[in-house]
Amino acid sequence: MEPNYDLLNIAIGTIPFLCYFAGICIRKVVLPGPDSPPLSHQLLIGIPMSLAIVCPFIPILKSSLGDFSALGITLGVIIEHGMLINETATNRLKKLGQNLQKTT
């Protein structure tokens, strides 16, 4: 019987994005910063950022499917990017928006 490549392609396309957004939620719930923006703002900023961050990892993820340790490290790096980069970018965009409102 031939393997079902459709399910594998769907999993490769969705699991990294779910890991990225899980990293956002972990950071907000477990380790919030002192000036942490709301979760809804972080999730909305996370949509375009996830495309820029996760898409380069997809070929690496696809090549590491046979090796569980490489797969785990790749998904862990994606979660870490969701935890660290997203909150910093959201804070900087928030401050930039406040500075633009003050000047106009």
Domain boundaries, the chain: 5-103
Q: What is the pLDDT of residues 51-103, one digit of tens each?
A: 999 999 999 888 888 899 999 999 999 999 999 998 889 889 989 999 988 88
Q: What is the dihedral of CA 30, 34, 40, 41, to 10 degrees?
A: -140
| pLDDT of amino acid 34 | 83
Whether 50 has a pLDDT exceeding 90, the answer reads yes
What is the rounded distance in angstroms from the CA atom of residue 39 to the CA atom of residue 26?
A: 10
Average pLDDT over residues 13-19: 94
Q: Is the pTM of this model over 0.85?
A: yes
